Amino acid sequence: MVDHMWLEPRTIRQAVCDDTFFIDVAAVGEDARSLRIRKDIAELLQRPCVLNPAVATVLLAVGDVGLRSDEGFVINVVDGRTEIVGTTTRALVYGFYDWLRRRMLGEPVNHVVSEPSQPIRMIDHWDQTDGSVERGYAGESIFFGRWGSNIHCEIGDFPERDASDVFRGDMRRIEDYARYLASVGINAVCLNNVNVRRFAIRLIVRPWIDRVAQIARIFSEFAIKTYLSVNFAAPKLIGGLDTCDPLDPAVNAWWQATVDAIYDAIPDFGGFVVKADSEGEPGPYAYGRTHADGANMFARALQSHGGIVIWRAFVYDCHQDWRDRKLDRAKAAYDNFHDLDGQFADNAILQIKFGPIDFQPSEPLNPLIGAMKRTNLMIEFQIAAEYLGHQIDVNYMLPQWLAAIRTDTGAGDNGVLDTGQYLQQAAVNPALVGYAAVANVGMDDNWTGHKLAQANLYGYGRMCWDQSLSAQTIAREWVSLTFADADTDAQQTITWILDTSNDTYESYAAPLGGGFMVRREDHYGVGINDFEYDRWGTYHYADRDGVGVDRTVATGTGYIGQYATAIAATLENVDTCPDQMLLFFHHVPYSHVLHDGTSVIQHIYDTHFAGVDMVDEYIRRWATLQDRIDDESFANVAERLQRQRRNAIEWRDQINTYFYRMSGIADSQGRLIYR
Ligand code: GCW
């Protein structure tokens, strides 16, 4: 049996039709026509619909509701009838799903006023045309690959095929996915990996763009715009030119013609996502041009069509000499982009990872967020659990993301300015800011490999729509919708596991902000020194005297100096630097005492023992859910928890032994540490 996510046509019909609601649409002109293609509403209208608004019990209407965003809506009960009103038909899509969700949650559906926190709410797929997904942990791509095939090519080891082979063609699954995304407010999706290799380079030209268009049409029906990642070197690789210089007229003409043809095939195409001069991808540096030159070349080509270019700030030197203690990968985004502030076109967006390194279990806010003053920005998250347990270990990420976006950016004139407000303030065009996140879905029956990893996709959408929600509220919502038939106590057990899971994972994978102690080949499991003495960066510098990276201005890499003055002052001082990030910013002796009175070494031991204890507790509590939730979900999570336990034990024992050997300091509680 295929295990769907909470929202599917059956659920919608149950929630709406079984109660014999009568839905009508009081839309006008163009809007009425476009609303009818918004799939679910259109389907619902076919049956319980009455065309006379006077007798409808639910009315969807386009009208001015006086909200800032044209995606916002209001829901009110007027004379016994529920009215969902928004300025555009897109708003009605969100209003409709919101109403549905509230009904399913048993929440009041009156006096609702809702509009999104972020205008762009995007999902980025790292799907590749061979069907594999870079950093994907839930099976093959839902877009690419062959029907029913289990083939797994290595990245780059992909024979060129014809178009019919490259696209999976499972439109039903794409439609289910689009519905799900729309239901949590997502309005943009990029289909392919930012590392654009081999066949994927050709997705932007005929005949493949016509196949992309088939997918884009499905997303359009749910008010979601489709984007593609492009290879900066495409003019050379597939265009027959001998340069990709962003200031060269022939290169610009090639991109213009390519973009024009894309819009012929996909009139509401969103635009491009570009990873350039990063981890081996080509970019403007090869021509002595800046990243603004590169981004603006795409922006020019897209502009007349209303398209945008999303340019990634994830640019760093992955050929570092570990011998040079001044080199610091954390500094890279700021160093590469800060001086370009104000130089990007109005329809260009700079997309910045929320932390300065790379989606680690524990990272401070990227200092570039706060430093740009005249640039459209998006913040990037990763729903796929690359460094957060591969959807084997349970890890509900909302606490981490929400903490990041609520951190002071330091850009306010008086007081705290969180990320949401800051993006608006820095924008050249306030409609072109938002959040993006790397997708975590695939062809696995339950979409995300680990059933509970669905909560991250749901939660990401909810956070983009309303970033004032708490992580716990979002978790509770997801559990009630997904395990709707389970008793309250069972739902609470699942919510508790989700709520505590991010801390649990961090407790064994990243003590005190120290990071990157992961296995080199796949970023799962413990590999304490796998990235030490390495061209990709050095991250913990443990020696016999202490541990952590000295990023101070006074004696370290100088990274802290990239933050606004007051924030930098707090971080620079080891006494005022938050303990949770201590080892990210400072190299301290093992005997250094934390604010709670524990020493650093004792904290490392304690959290690693506690991490395994928590996983044992998850296993105990999950066992009580047998026969109280569906068998498949029960078995899926039970199996993953056993694997997580093995992982947590390995982390505990390797880390504790390593740091015992480094420090020579015993555990104050005398627990078993292998010598
Ligand atoms: O985290 C790193 C990943 C790469 C990824 C890169 C990026 C798509 O390990 O797999 O490449 O980030 O964000 O571009």
* Per-residue 3-state assignment (H helix, E strand, C coil) for 21-86: CCEEECCCHHHHHHHHHCHHHHHHHHCCCCCCHHHCCEEEEECCCCCCCCCCEEEEEECCEEEEEE
What separation in angstroms does the CA of 585 have from each of 405, 505, 563, 634?
20, 21, 12, 41
pLDDT given at position 54:
54
DSSP sequence for 160-220: ---HHHHB---HHHHHHHHHHHHHTT--EEE-S-SS--GGGGGGGSTTHHHHHHHHHHHHH
In the chain, the number of structural domains is 3
Within 13 Å of residue 390, how many CA atoms lie on the same side as its CB?
18
d(CA 1, CA 233): 44
- Ligand 1 atom closest to Cα of residue 194: 8
CA distance 639 to 288: 52
Q: Choose among 230, 229, 250, 227: nearest CA to 240.
A: 250
Which residue lies with its CA nearest to atom 2 of ligand 1? 358
Residue with the smallest CA separation from ligand 1 atom 13 is 314
C-alpha dihedral (231, 523, 443, 634), degrees to nearest 10: -160
Helix segments in 382-452, DSSP class H:
398-406, 419-426
Burial group, residue 447, by CB count within 10 angstroms (0-12, 13-18, 19+): buried
Confidence of residue 80 (pLDDT cuts 50, 70, 90): confident
- Quick check: is 386 catalytic? yes
pLDDT at 456 > cutoff 90: yes
Helix (H) or strand (E) holding 437: strand 434-438
Q: What is the pLDDT of residue 325?
A: 83
Separation CA 493–CA 490 (nearest Å): 5
Question: Within a domain: residue 293?
Answer: yes
Do 430 and 284 belong together in one domain? yes
Residue 241 is assigned to a structural domain of this protein: yes
Same-domain status, 160 and 98:
no
- Asked whether residue 549 falls in the same domain as residue 404, the answer is no
Shared domain check, 511 and 613: yes
Residue 48 has a pLDDT of 41
| Number of the ligand 1 atom closest to the C-alpha atom of 387 | 1
- Whether 452 is in a domain gets the answer yes
How remote is the CA of residue 135 from the centroid of ligand 1, in Å?
A: 8
- 644 CA distance to ligand 1 middle (Å): 23
Please check whether residue 601 lies inside any domain of the structure: yes
Nearest ligand 1 atom to the CA of 438 is: 13
Question: Does the pLDDT value for residue 10 go beyond 70?
Answer: no
Average pLDDT, the chain: 89
- Asked if residues 132 and 148 have their Cβ atoms less than 8 Å apart, the reply is no
Largest CA distance in the chain: 80
Lowest mean pLDDT among 150-164, 202-216, 494-508: 150-164
Q: Say yes or no: 99 and 154 in one domain.
A: no
Domain with 606, as residue range(s), is 507-663
Q: What percent of the chain has pLDDT over 90?
A: 74
End of a domain among 67, 96, 114?
A: 114
Closest CA to 625 of 616, 635, 615: 635
Interface ipTM > 0.90: yes
Least confident piece of the model among 307-321, 455-469, 605-619? 307-321
Q: Amino acid identity, residue 277?
A: D
Set 358, 393, 444, 550: catalytic member: 358
pLDDT digits (tens, 9 = 90+) for 532-577: 887 877 789 999 999 999 999 999 999 999 999 999 999 999 999 9
Last residue of a domain, one of 88, 114, 140: 114
* Same domain as 168, residue 141: yes
- The pLDDT score that the predictor gives to residue 3 is 46
| Separation between Cα atoms, residue 536 and residue 552, nearest integer Å | 21
In a domain? residue 629: yes
In this predicted structure, the answer to whether residue 28 has a pLDDT above a threshold of 60 is no
Could you tell me if residue 370 is inside a domain? yes
Report CA(425)–ligand 1 centroid distance (Å).
29
210 vs 373: CA distance, rounded Å: 39
How far is it, in rounded angstroms, from Cα 75 to Cα 111? 6
In a domain, 206, yes or no: yes
The residue to mutate among 195, 311, 524, having the most atoms of ligand 1 within 8 angstroms of its beta carbon, is: 195
Q: What is the CATH number of the domain that holds 574?
A: 3.90.1330.10
Same domain, 85 and 131: no
- For ligand 1, the distance from its centroid to the CA atom of residue 518, given in whole angstroms, is 15
Answer whether residue 502 is part of any domain. Answer: no
- Within 6 A (CB) of ligand 1 lie 126, 134-135, 193-195, 275, 314, 358-359, 386
| Catalytic site includes residue 281 | no
Question: What's the CA dihedral at 583, 587, 591, 595 to 10 degrees?
Answer: -50
358 is catalytic: yes
Q: What is the CATH number of the domain that holds 103?
A: 3.30.379.10
Q: Which of 107, 160, 242, 279 is catalytic?
A: 279
- For residue 195, the ligand 1 atom closest to its alpha carbon is 8
Residue 149 reports pLDDT greater than 60: no
For the record, the structure tokens of 255 come out as: 């991109």
> Which of 114, 136, 161 is at the close of a domain?
114
Within this chain, do residues 110 and 157 fall inside the same structural domain, yes or no? no
Shared domain for 88 and 229, answered yes or no, is: no
Is 445 found in the same domain as 402? yes
Phi-psi region of 342 (alpha: psi -120 to 50; beta: other; left: phi over 0): left
Residues 131, 269: one domain? Answer: yes
- State pTM to two decimals: 0.93
Residues 205 and 138 in one domain: yes
**Ligand 1 pocket test, candidate residues 277, 281, 358, most atoms within 8 A of CB:** 358
Average pLDDT over residues 345-349: 98
